[in-house]
Amino acid sequence: MVAVGTIVWLSSELMFFAALFAAYFTVRSVSPELFAQETQLLNVPFSAANTIVLVLSSVTCQLGVFAAERGQVGRTGSAFAFWKKRNWGLREWFILTYFMGSIFIAGQAFEYAKLVHEGLTIPANAYGTLFYLATGFHGIHVTGGLIAFLFVLGRTYLARRFTHEQAISAVVVSYYWHFVDVIWVGLFATIYLLK
């Protein structure tokens, strides 16, 4: 039931981002010269690297889900086996995913600082408004996912026994994380690659 509810909620989130995409394309069709000028400020290679980090975090998140479905909450083997990824459990994969998501958010903050320094701000023009709305709301969603990872990780440390409910919570958080990643791929293609 929780998984179905999450999927329904994510559908409403999809409509929210669809509205942002519609606004972006509408303003872009009205002011193509503004978009041609302002997109020159974007650092596409840096954003592509940041995108790769976020997409790979989806892979590590799913590996954590696979471990949760096996009932493997933590690493197996000796302390020296830490670097053997096949021994990792939910905790290790979700911690790695958390750090990758944090790197993505830090990259976005760095990019924002650079763009603001170059004069692209929310009130500067319609492009700035839409750029920061779309990427900013996505960043808020990523931050929400990071908080959810902390919640799941905290539950695994506090619980005496790893239960089916904890595995379900890991699965539900993964649905959300994959959704956020797919939305970013769409935003990256639209904002950074589409000329």
pLDDT at position 132, please?
95
138 vs 17: CA distance, rounded Å:
9
186 vs 184: CA distance, rounded Å:
5
pLDDT at position 102, please?
97
pLDDT at position 78, please?
54
pLDDT at position 110, please?
97
Q: Which amino acid is at 149?
A: F
> How far, in whole angstroms, is CA 112 from its chain's centroid?
17
108 vs 132: CA distance, rounded Å:
10
State residue 153 phi and psi, 5-degree precision: -65, -45
Say how many C-beta atoms besides its own lie within 10 A of residue 176's C-beta: 19
- For the chain, 195 residues long, the average pLDDT of each consecutive 10-residue run is 78 90 92 89 95 97 92 67 69 95 97 94 92 95 96 86 81 94 95 87
- Fill in the DSSP letter of residue 160: S
pLDDT at position 153, please?
92
Cβ within 8 Å of residue 104, ≥6 positions away: 50, 53, 54, 57, 142
The reply to whether the predicted model has a pTM over 0.85 is yes
Where does residue 91 fall: left (phi above 0), alpha (psi -120 to 50 degrees), or beta otherwise? alpha
87 vs 75: CA distance, rounded Å:
5
